[in-house]
Structure 1
Amino acid sequence: MSLYNHAALVGRLPGKVSDRAAASDLLKRFDPERDSYLVWRLGVEFGYQFVDAAIQAEEQLRVIAHVVTEELAQLHTLRDSLGWEGPISDPTEILGTLLEEARSMDYGGIDKAHRILLSMTSMAITSDDHSLRAATQQVEAVADLISDMRTDTAKPPSSVARAVYRYLTPELGDFERRRWQAIVDVDDLLAGKFSALTSLHDHLGPPQTTFRFLDRQILPPGTQSEARPALQPITNYRSSPTVFDEERLRILDRITERYPRLRDVLEPRFCLISPSSRVRERLSVGDALANYHVLEIEVGPKIFAVAASPMTGQDAIYIVRSDVSSAPWQEVLTQTKQRARDLGAKTVRVTGDSGVRYSQAADRVIAYLTCPAHSFRSSTPVFYEGRWSVGEYW
């Protein structure tokens, strides 16, 4: 259940805010039920939900005010410095300039590339009918560039790029409604109608939390999430399509069935944590289906977590162990994927022949869960003598 509470937000408005009625009306635009451009924009940077009871209303106000201030500054730059004419115009020439700028960047400029991508998204989603298709393709070209940016050792996935693909894909959700809401939000921002929230940013300061806000619901062990039947593959104009695959979620069930009982001394406790059903009703199809499901495993003093997504073509399985990562899994798995790996998470890809890929993925995950901590840090699963192992077993 979402902890978005409009009354609580209004109640925490600083006394220095002179136009409280205007601020109250503007805060309604951040109700996740609206699925508006500003809700999406907040979601890209901070996640879609306010659900952690430790996150007070004042901190939620900081996040909202921060997003409004950043977005408004970005829009003013596009209009005043680059000559963008605003919503319902042809932005393709400016988008082309930004595309070339992004092409000149290496991995060291990925943060700036993300900002370029977001600014291009606001122009593309609000462009006129004639230029919409071309504008969308230019934005996707930058998203592809970001997805392909590499460090010396790894290719970091980009949650921002994926969010943009989904947002601009006409087949996901009610695209025309999404587009119209973006036009209204962007037009109101440029018209100065959000001044009550930009002043709020000055009073409260920048956000204090570094956590992303996720919508979670704890379910009994083995509970299966509701799945949408007969979904068509979702393509993002890339070489690898993104497809909904319910079998990927059943890998978590396979793990609970196969996880070894250690000499009947330590009986593992399983807890499945899945997205709230409200997420599927509120967000676009792409965002809803991409939410990770987490299997928490408690074995004695150790707590492990396995996160699986039903989206093939873009999401790996993530494994976190409390004896390896200094941070709890809730913190590790609510960072970006690159940051999760930096904090000690390991990944398993669901690949191979269709008949065995899910079984093998489950076995590779179990190998990660049951190997010594030092092997988890330094080794990868190897198939040897009829089983998958990482280092040597306990």
Structure 2
Amino acid sequence: MAILMILPAALAQGEEKKPPQIPADKDPITTESGLIISVLREGTGKVHPKMWDEVTCHYTGWLKATGKVFDSSVQRGQPLNFRLGQVIEGWNEGLKRMVVGSKVKLTIPPAIGYGARGSPPAIPPGSTLIFEVELLKVEPGGVPVWSNADEKTQKKTESGIVYEVIKTGEGDAPKTTDNVVIKYTCWGLDKKMVDCSALRGEETKFKIDSVRLAFLKEVLPMMAPGGVWRCEVPSKLAFGARKVRTLEGGSDSVWQVELIRIVRPMTIPKFVVPTAEQLTTKESGLQIQVLTPGTGKSPKMGQKVVCHYAGWLKKDGKLFDSSYGRGDPATFGVGRLIEGWNEALLGMKEGEEVILVIPAKLGYGSRGSPPVIGPDADLVFRMHLIEVK
């Protein structure tokens, strides 16, 4: 991913301002890559960002050849947040030398900037760039880093996978017919990261016997939930001849795989419509019966929540959706749901379990949600708020 979205239109909005001037160098240091660093202000932080940490910066960028500003978070009034490793190399290198509160001038040659291609239309091919960068915040990235093999603990399968157990899991191993949830990171033998589920902030769910990567079909049924393995994988059991990002076709790869959990269908609660005495009716018309009070925190509008639920048509008790049947809770954003759900969730706490009777006006209204939910359908939900993220 290239750094810095080039937003010339953003710079043109609002009042006309005098463009900032390129700061003078101050005791510049030139690194082996050709990056020139001048520390304009020392910081107060103690920690240097590491690869894949999340950082927040203010910056202004100029073309060295013309002195023209091509992008500036300062002028937009909105700092940039990103992961180290997802930006141009000159930024990666420069930021690793900074601490929170510091401000530097970076002079970045094309080889560690946008290269011979540039980034049209704002950055011409072969451009040397100058940035003034202020580091505002650093947060640990939570991304696995490369680890060398421990040959004493490594084992090899008949297919050629060399694996070692970094962390032992607990419980039964999954069957090939099971759905599983995993986290993973993949590197080439050059130690460059190829892919990582954590960079997308998500776990990966699939059925073992349906996954395209053959080594996972072999390794996962040997693991237990909570286990973390390092696997050296022959190309034929991973991507084969296909090139994936920086990994050339036909290349072997190294993986760290964590088995989070096995997903098996759960018993779906029975359809029940509580009596009027059991229900609390809100001004909106939403009706709630609390089955189990919660003890955790309540969500706010915009926050993500993790829930188990089952939903029925009130008129005939027909089940139209259920996370219980899938065996895995669902994650939603409060405010992006039907109004009955939004209202109920805002009044709940983690751990709480309820039955909701939702009138059509707080559900899918006169349009319904064909073909399962017809027009003006009242709905009944059993819902368990597991977590507020």
TM-score (norm 1): 0.23
- Using CA pairs under 8 Å that are at least 6 residues apart, name the structure with larger relative contact order, 1 or 2: 1
Kindly indicate which of the two structures has a greater share of residues assigned to strand: 2
Rg: which structure is higher?
2
